[in-house]
Amino acid sequence: MMVSKHFFSLLVTVLALGVQCSSPVQPNTKWKNIPFPEDNPLTEAKIAFGKELFFDKRLSAGNQISCASCHQPEKAFTDGLTKSRGVDGRMAMRNAPSIFNSAYFKSYMYDGEVKTLEEQVLVPLQDHREMAGSMKEIIRKLAGDKTYQKQAHIIFNRDLDAYVITRAISSYERSLVSRNSRFDQYQSGKKDVLKANELAGWKLFSEKLYCVKCHSGIDFTNYSVVSNGLYTSYGSDQGRYRINGLEQERGTFKVPGLRNVSLTAPYMHDGSIQTLREVILHYASGGKNFPNKSTVIKPFLLTESEISQLESFFKSLTDTSSYQAD
Ligand code: HEC
Ligand code: HEC
């Protein structure tokens, strides 16, 4: 049912564009300001196709899970678990981050090493702790799906393959934009949208405390890969150290964005902090002693009402309206 509905809208789009399948025409839609790579222009048809793939369990070994099993729309595309669960209940390495606004991210994953969304798609598909598949096997399974093949031909002018799968799914991810929270409305001039305690929380976050030294910019991250002093010793996950084996990168992780953060508990790369209040207390304590801990992280004192002002500010960052259920 879902397939045929999407396919219908796909046909409409193609007709509207005059069947220009191979030329990168950007339809005049609400998606028009979203950035995309030159070789993967964003179209309504691609987004719809990518959405079907994102929710399709056949992309995993034994058809057990889809991308959406760990990136659930109602939790701002996270899963509420400390660490995600892959096929056969295997424990994933980390806590699942939200993918809202991933179109705008400068790097992906906690190591900050993956540079494009297209490239990122391949990681969970093949990670044995996550979807545990192989591209060859996935394509074999999906090859007989006539609606998928039709969409691959119309949109990409080729058979369903890794090129099609990575480009369609990343297009769907790009459509998940969170830019209309009450905080955004406030920033764009509607000054009465934020309540006094939310505004006070924003002032604490951005002026009194040091949070914006790392959680800066429109998505509240500067993409630096640092240690915020979570541990004195990082145990099995040493963060970016695993990429280059550099001592100064031990225990460092990409600064996560904070959009929709009140929907994405638990927190940190390993889901070890359950609530935003405890996150605030972590920073207030100055973090643990760790050689690579950023020198920005220092202890501070907050009153109970200041803690709740910060929590209220975080709640004002919620906007999941670009996700549309069928
Ligand atoms: C088993 C659970 C699981 C599945 C299934 C899964 N993911 Fe993830 N996803 C994660 C975890 C955990 C991370 C963090 C990994 C890391 O940082 O090393 C992540 C990270 C990401 C990121 C990076 C976000 C950021 O802030 O850097 C994107 C994008 C993403 N996943 C998209 C997908 C797509 C697309 C699929 C399907 C092809 C998928 N995921 C399937 C658990 C999952
Ligand atoms: C030196 C850079 C830096 C500063 C300053 C900083 N953070 Fe962070 N923040 C990080 C990093 C890195 C992580 C992820 C650490 C990890 O996963 O182990 C993080 C994680 C978080 C998270 C969890 C997000 C998630 O989705 O898991 C929240 C919330 C947060 N910080 C809030 C704050 C607040 C509030 C302040 C100010 C008091 C602050 N941060 C200051 C670097 C910083």
86 lines ligand 1 (CB under 6 A): yes
- pLDDT tops 80 at residue 279: yes
Residue 324: strand, helix, or coil: coil
Output the average pLDDT for the chain: 92
pLDDT tens for 175-184 read: 999 999 999 9
Per-residue tokens: 30: 């609400």
CATH architecture of 2-174: Orthogonal Bundle (1.10)
Q: What's the mean pLDDT in 215-225?
A: 98
Tell me the CATH class for 182-315: mainly alpha
- Provide the percentage of residues in the chain whose pLDDT is more than 70: 91
Residue 295 has pLDDT above 70, yes or no: yes
What is residue 32's predicted lDDT score, i.e. its pLDDT?
Answer: 74
| Whether residue 208 has pLDDT greater than 60 | yes
Mean pLDDT across 23-34: 62
pLDDT value of residue 269: 98
Amino acid occupying residue 110: Y
Q: How far apart are CA 150 and CA 13, in angstroms?
A: 14
Closest Cα to atom 15, ligand 1: which residue? 109
Ligand 1 center to 308 CA (angstroms): 31
- CB of 228 within 6 A of ligand 2: the answer is yes
pLDDT surpasses 90 at 82? yes
Higher local confidence (pLDDT), 130 or 29: 130
Q: Which ligand is nearest to the CA of 174?
A: 1
The model's pTM: 0.92
Does the CB atom of residue 171 touch ligand 1 within 6 A? Answer: no
pLDDT at 10 over 90: no
Domain ranges of the chain: 2-174, 182-315
Same fold, 2-174 and 182-315: yes
94 CA: nearest ligand 1 atom = 12
For the ranges 11-25, 69-83, 104-118, 192-206, which has the lowest average pLDDT?
A: 11-25
Going by CA atoms, what residue is nearest to atom 2 of ligand 1? 70
Instruction: Count other Cβ atoms within 10 Å, centred on residue 102.
Output: 20
According to the model, what pLDDT value does residue 31 have?
A: 76
Q: Are 114 and 123 in contact (CB under 8 A)?
A: yes
**Quick check: 275 and 310 in contact, CB under 8 A?**
no
Give the dihedral of Cα atoms 111, 112, 115, 119; nearest 10 deg.
Answer: 30
Question: Which pLDDT value is given to residue 266?
Answer: 98
Residue 94 corresponds to which tokens in the numbers above? Answer: 């980390």
Beta bridge partners of 273: 267
Q: What is the largest CA-CA distance in the chain?
A: 63
pLDDT of residue 326: 83
Ligand 1 close to Cβ of residue 170 (< 6 A): no
pLDDT above 70: residue 68: yes
Burial of 235 (0-12, 13-18, 19+ CB in 10 A): exposed
C-alpha–C-alpha distance, residues 199 and 207, integer Å = 12
pLDDT digits (tens, 9 = 90+) for 249-267: 999 999 999 999 999 999 9
The arithmetic mean of pLDDT across residues 162-171, rounded, is 98
Q: Residue 1: what pLDDT?
A: 35
